[in-house]
């Protein structure tokens, strides 16, 4: 309990009041959420009351994403949401999408899944909620949280093999997460971000690698295009495994998952 109090910056008594659900003490929602988040991160369950706070399942996965300004990216986001909803339904989970003004409502869910957001927004959501966070298509690089991303080096190797060592261009929709965007620039010397259909017509590249479903549909089929879906079955399986681990507070040494 002292560890929780120290990490949360509150007294041991405050921690005790929160985990025992004392209603006769005035504790702000912000302090309560912060303490519960630390309890979750430290996997600290001192009694059955606190354990119920940590382990009670709702079978709801909350998804946070910033609505894109590019209509192509919006279409890709909707494509992902549809696939994720169907996937979770088959696993007896429900998907809940909440908008920016309601991030504090994510505590209704077992897990919060974030899609392509920056570190600042990720931690802002974490500070406002108790549910475990999982970063998808984002590099938060924090060992406390699962992050699931495409393996860019693996994509590069597959493209080099497909294009037989010839130069190729990686075409991508706009990316919100700075770390992910910078890593792409490091791995792929020729990188083009596509926001509109006009951007496609202005780029006449011979060999093209794409991972976005929308771009794959817009680029005419040819032997010079390689499409490797960003949201593959393997990636969804990894997401679900992380959801199970996070919701059950399973101790896992490696939280950085590349697909």
**Same domain, yes or no, for 85 and 209?**
no
pLDDT, tens only, 93-138: 999 997 666 666 676 789 999 999 999 999 988 888 878 899 999 9
* Eight-class DSSP state of 92: T
Instruction: Quickly count: other Cβ atoms within 10 Å of residue 198's Cβ.
Output: 9
**Same domain, yes or no, for 136 and 72?**
yes
**Same domain, yes or no, for 103 and 129?**
yes
Q: What is the pLDDT of residue 222?
A: 63
Report the predicted TM-score, pTM, of the whole model to 2 decimal places. 0.77
> What is the three-class DSSP state of 152?
helix
**Same domain, yes or no, for 250 and 133?**
yes
| Domain boundary, last residue among 55, 70, 100 | 55
Q: What is the pLDDT of residue 90?
A: 96
The CATH code of the domain that includes 251 is: 3.40.50.2300
Q: What is the pLDDT of residue 75?
A: 96
**Same domain, yes or no, for 145 and 74?**
yes
- Average pLDDT of each block of 10 consecutive residues along the chain (259 residues)? 80 78 74 79 57 67 92 96 96 86 72 94 85 94 94 98 95 95 96 93 87 92 86 96 90 92
Q: What is the pLDDT of residue 229?
A: 97
DSSP string of 118-135, one letter each residue: -HHHHHHHHHH--S-EEE
Q: How many domains does the chain have?
A: 3
**Same domain, yes or no, for 156 and 75?**
no
**Same domain, yes or no, for 136 and 251?**
yes
Token pair recorded at residue 44: 């600290």
**Same domain, yes or no, for 75 and 118?**
yes
**Same domain, yes or no, for 142 and 239?**
yes
**Same domain, yes or no, for 244 and 138?**
yes
**Same domain, yes or no, for 244 and 140?**
yes
Q: What is the pLDDT of residue 2?
A: 77
Provide the domain limits for residue 121.
60-149+233-258
**Same domain, yes or no, for 252 and 145?**
yes
| Domain boundary, last residue among 55, 78, 96 | 55
Token pair recorded at residue 47: 């009694």
Token pair recorded at residue 228: 């490797």
């Amino acid at each position: 309990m002292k560890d929780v109090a120290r990490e949360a910056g509150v007294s041991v008594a405050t921690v005790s009041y929160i985990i025992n659900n004392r209603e006769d003490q005035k504790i702000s929602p912000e302090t309560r959420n912060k303490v519960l988040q630390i309890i979750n991160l430290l996997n600290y369950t001192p009694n059955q009351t606190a354990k119920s706070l940590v382990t009670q399942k709702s079978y709801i996965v909350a998804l946070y994403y910033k609505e894109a300004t590019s209509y192509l990216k919006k279409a890709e986001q909707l494509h992902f949401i549809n696939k994720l909803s169907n996937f979770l339904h088959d696993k007896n989970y429900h998907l809940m999408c909440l908008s920016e003004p309601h991030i504090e409502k994510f505590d209704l869910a077992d897990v919060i899944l974030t899609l392509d957001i920056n570190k600042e927004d990720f931690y802002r959501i974490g500070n406002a909620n108790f549910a475990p966070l999982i970063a998808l298509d984002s590099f938060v690089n924090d060992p406390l949280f699962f992050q699931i991303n495409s393996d860019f080096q693996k994509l590069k190797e597959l493209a080099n093999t497909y294009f037989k060592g010839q130069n190729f261009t990686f075409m991508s929709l706009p990316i919100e997460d700075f770390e992910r965007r910078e890593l792409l620039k490091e791995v792929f010397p020729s990188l083009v971000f596509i926001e509109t259909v006009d951007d496609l017509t202005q780029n006449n590249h011979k060999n093209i690698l794409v991972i976005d479903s929308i771009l794959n549909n817009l680029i005419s089929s040819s032997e010079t295009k390689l499409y490797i879906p960003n949201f593959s079955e393997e990636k969804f399986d990894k997401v679900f495994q992380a959801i199970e681990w996070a919701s059950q507070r399973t101790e896992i040494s490696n939280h950085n998952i590349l697909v």
